[in-house]
Structure 1
Amino acid sequence: MLVETFNPFNNILISSLVAAIPIILFLLCLTIFKMKGLYAALLNLGVTFLIAMLIFDLPFGESVGSVIQGALQGMWPIGYIIVMAVWLYKISVESGKFDILRASIAGISQDQRLQLLLIGFCFNAFLEGAAGFGVPIAICAVLLVSLGFKPLQAAMLCLIANGASGAFGAIGIPVAITGTLNLEGNVTSMDVSMMTALTLPIINFSIPFLLIFLLNGLKGVKEILPAILVVASTYTVTQALITIFLGPELADIIPSLLTMGVLALFLRKWQPKNIFLLNNQEVKIEKHSVGEIIRAWSPFYLLSIFVLVWSIPAFKALFLEGGALNFTIVKLAIPGSSLFSSFNLVSATGTAILLAGITTILTTKSIGFPAGFKLLKKTVLEFWIPIMMISAILGIAKLMTHAGLTTVLGEAVATTGSIFPLVSPILGWIGVFMTGSVVNNNTLFAPIQATAANIIGTDPALLVSANTAGGVMAKLISPQSIAIATAAVGQTGKEALLTKMTLKYSFGLLAFVCVWTFLLSLMF
């Protein structure tokens, strides 16, 4: 916070209502006014800039610096990650690997409800755990479209499915980061991880049912109930055990791979009596050898391997102060302000994905570097508008943080006293809606949650986990997620429609987390 006070009106209620204007306006722009995402983001950026500078007294230089800092972060590392992930996907398509990969999944069952469970739920969760930052939504939505799903339908289903894995994205960083914040009550990341097992399993178990219901109604749920139970129970139980005994790092990766494998084996013995096909059109499946299938999946194996290496503590230590590769971190002071931006040239997750793409080209005869670089150029041209939108959103987030708008919102919610646990997840929802990141959300609001918990006498780990769970529910409609999803399926400009499609599910899941957290607070 770069202002003298986060309460310019000397009244928490009035100050928080003014601070909430960017959030409310964003929702109105995307739902009621049906504006394109980029225009909504730019309008809100202007409004937030004026509120931060004129009402919260953020100096002009710091206001401009906040926008620049957010814009740069939108391009690096977030835009970098998105472009690299989609580029890797395009390499897979151009080389012919993607057709074999798709056939390997579709070949397990022609029933597209089961394909949704395999791709939209299991593979989605795996990519969330391995890379995060929009990668699973971008890749899985495109996969579903290639199998006959409607573009916005595929995007919506992938966004909802991501609610089962978003808390532990990118090697569990959203939860792991809480252990670095020195939270009041000596809350550790393991404490938070264990506490998530009281809430997230209920959501995780229900989402596969919800996905099939949205695709094919109650009829579909009944017809493939055994498969849904296999997916829901395997994923839920495995993730709960890992979060309790091992921690957050592998809480998406192991459960998703195990669930995919168990479902594939189960479907060898069981198939639904009625095969559900979208538009009654059967997807033609070519048979391939085991070796071809293994090679076809190699871009994603490589993605996982590189991202896992990038997440190893010993590797991360190379980039710390005094580390052998610390020189690869470029720090840029933003003129006219006290702010700066860092560019992690090597340690960025996007670089890990870049290496996966380069390795794929080197090990694939059917594509070379000239074709690969043409695909990279094409990807950049396709995604510059969504990246601009994301940069504007992060500019808003930085303005709200540095001007104290997020702080006063947090303080306002914390004044609710004994019913604070009921509204605690809403803080997390707000944090992710504005930043698109559960990591940023926990960085912003976990300290407030822990402090409030100690004041009202409840377990601080419970409220920090509620902050995480509430935040995950906002990923379904955060402008950043919506921008990535619409761009991936070629529907840029239809962000308002996709937001409308997912909004009620975000609110419904948030309402459950709020009520459930309040009930848990009575026991802890």
Structure 2
Amino acid sequence: MYRQVLDPVAGSLAWSSLVAALPLLVLFVMLGILRVTAWVASLVSLALAAVIAVAVYGMPFGQALLAGSEGAAFGFFPILWIVINAIWVFRMTVETGHFDVLRRSFARVSDDQRVQAIIIAFSFGALMEALAGFGTPVAVTSVMLIALGFKPLKAAVLALTANTAPVAFGAMATPIITLGKVTGISGDTLGAMVGRQTPVLAVFVPLVLVLIVDGRRGLRESWPVALGCGVVFGVAQYATSNFVSVPLADVVASLLSAVAVVALVRLRGGGRPSSAPVVSPEFAERGARPDSRADVVRAYAPYGIIILVFVICQVPVVKGLLDKATYTIQWPGLHLLSPEGKPSSLPVFTLNLFTTPGTQMLVAGVITMIALRLAPPRAVRAYGVTLHQLRWAIVTVMAVLALAFVMNASGQTITLGTWMAGAGGLFALLSPILGWLGVAVTGSDTSSNSLFGVLQVAAARQAGLNEVLMAAGNSSGGVLGKMISPQNLAIVAAAVGLNGREGDIFRRVVVWSLIFLLALCFLSVLQASPVLSWMVP
């Protein structure tokens, strides 16, 4: 039995926080400055976290090892289980040639790469986030962008940057539902509050995508489409989360934003400035050949099948039946107490065999195999190719989640959070940063909400701040940590064929992550003050 400690270094929370932050500091320095491969940086940081847990926090070595093993298992199931099956569906469309048809269809909307970045990375990526989440959008959309002529590094940066505003409502609002469970606050209330924060970010994300694609010239020439997409997405996300359904917020917003992009392009007469970056001449030539209606239907079929499978699985009766295959397991040998001496929930591992998006994606893959008339041996071979493609990403994700669990179990993460929570009224400024930190480490807004949700509420009470606002700030701030998470960096690097260059990707997205984070912190402070307190439900 191990009881978590908050201040093992000289009884000081501040000094203990400095030591607890070392594994994260080493991880990001190795990635961003030393350009070390993600899986190597993750394993080194994991080893350092384990040493600090044992030598500084006094955690028994066996307990630290078991905590790491649970984290690695969680990294594979459900996170990698989702990504592997999502990429497999994509591989099958490539195998059958239907992905070429799909990209030609996207190109017909506009051959302007700035518009393509918006509709694919932002709108289509948001739909993938709504249905599956956990790294699926960046993997799928980055490859689609490459197929349209984008360079791998730029495709990766665009996919990661776009995967921000939709994250809090991803996987049918799983992060917000989880936040509601751990804090005891209504999920509808939390969803409404998040729906009054992330839509503000959504307005600007497409503008940033255009800036990444084509600099200031792109912003000057394409801002009406970008701004229109962002505004429609933001308004739809706000309206749906506040007045219709929290789980459907991203579904509605993504579809309406895509319609808005198409409408705005049509209003411009389909024209574009002659200086606009376009698809390669080779692709443009292939795109001139018309595809049959049957081929187009089959090209879109996998994504229609995914939507249909996920929607059916959300039907209460079906979901109830699938939930019967959910098992709660006490991780063998791992015995933890919180700093207050209460049993920790960390050793409880949930094995939701059928309700996890990964299994539902697998079912959608099997149906896709039939719809695309792909022989089972070829489908199995495509699965093998997917595993080989993601091999280093698998190591990285499992190592990062092992790191997160060791830090959580030993008390290192709680030390950092408690130290920040002692900021009093300034906590309104720091609340989103805490969520950002949680997602940067775990790669999951759901995990960050599980980790820091209760802490946010407790800090709000101590500082006399609104509990709903601080809890929602954890989830909203967390979405901005997604793009710098080693987990997501590894997934997107594997998808675009840049294994070992995660550091290059990190350096290109970290600035946008910090800019958006500062903006959200400022919004949080204003919402905690009389200026914008009317925005809090």
For the criterion TM > 0.5, the same-fold answer is yes
Q: Is the 8 A contact 1:65 1:337 kept in 2?
A: no
CA distance in 2, matches of 1:333, 1:175: 25
Shift of 1:315: 3.4
Does residue 500 of structure 2 align to residue 493 of structure 1?
yes
CA distance in 1, matches of 2:44, 2:360: 34
SS at match of 2:390: helix
CA distance in 2, matches of 1:56, 1:3: 10
Change (3 A) 1:448 1:212: same
- 2:306 match: 303
Change (3 A) 1:46 1:422: same
Q: Which amino acid aligns with 2:273?
A: N
Shift of 1:179: 1.8
Note the alpha carbon deviations across 1:428-477, whole angstroms, 9 max, x for none: 01100110000000111111111111222221111111111111111111
Note the alpha carbon deviations across 1:382-414, whole angstroms, 9 max, x for none: 212111111010001111111111111111001
- 1:218 match: 216
Q: Structure 2 stretches of 5 or more lacking a match?
A: 337-346
- 1:445 match: 452
CA distance in 2, matches of 1:476, 1:352: 25
Note the alpha carbon deviations across 1:104-140, whole angstroms, 9 max, x for none: 1111111111111111111011101011011110000
Shift of 1:224: 2.2
Moved over 6 A (4+): none
- 2:463 match: 456
Q: Structure 1 stretches of 5 or more lacking a match?
A: none
Q: Is the 8 A contact 1:72 1:341 kept in 2?
A: no
Does residue 425 of structure 2 align to residue 427 of structure 1?
no
Change (3 A) 1:201 1:378: same
Does residue 314 of structure 2 align to residue 314 of structure 1?
no
Q: Is the 8 A contact 2:46 2:400 kept in 1?
A: yes
- 1:356 match: 364
- 2:340 match: none
Does residue 127 of structure 2 align to residue 126 of structure 1?
yes
CA distance in 2, matches of 1:465, 1:235: 19
Shift of 1:280: 6.3
CA distance in 1, matches of 2:528, 2:116: 39
Q: Is the 8 A contact 1:433 1:475 kept in 2?
A: yes
Shift of 1:182: 3.9
Q: Is the 8 A contact 1:432 1:438 kept in 2?
A: yes
Out of 185, 201, 204, the residue aligned to residue 203 of structure 1 is: 201
Q: Taking structure 1 as the reference length, what is the TM-score of the superposition?
A: 0.94
Change (3 A) 1:368 1:30: same
- 1:175 match: 176
CA distance in 1, matches of 2:279, 2:109: 20
CA distance in 1, matches of 2:188, 2:331: 36
Q: Is the 8 A contact 2:328 2:348 kept in 1?
A: no
Change (3 A) 1:215 1:336: closer
Identity of aligned pairs, percent?
31
Pairs within 5 Å for 1:243-392: 243-270=241-268, 271-275=270-274, 276-278=276-278, 281=281, 283-284=284-285, 285=287, 286-318=289-321, 320=323, 323=324, 325-326=325-326, 329=327, 331=329, 333-335=331-333, 339=347, 341-365=349-373, 367-392=374-399
Note the alpha carbon deviations across 1:133-182, whole angstroms, 9 max, x for none: 11110000000001110101101011111112111111111112222124
Change (3 A) 1:334 1:305: same
CA distance in 1, matches of 2:479, 2:124: 18
SS at match of 2:354: coil
SS at match of 2:177: helix
Q: Is the 8 A contact 2:298 2:372 kept in 1?
A: no
Note the alpha carbon deviations across 1:298-354, whole angstroms, 9 max, x for none: 11111122223334443343355xx3x45xx48474357674644433332111111
Q: Which amino acid aligns with 1:351?
A: T
CA distance in 2, matches of 1:434, 1:181: 19
Q: Is the 8 A contact 2:148 2:279 kept in 1?
A: no
SS at match of 1:248: coil
Q: Is the 8 A contact 1:334 1:340 kept in 2?
A: no
Note the alpha carbon deviations across 1:243-283, whole angstroms, 9 max, x for none: 11124201111111122123223323423441523586463
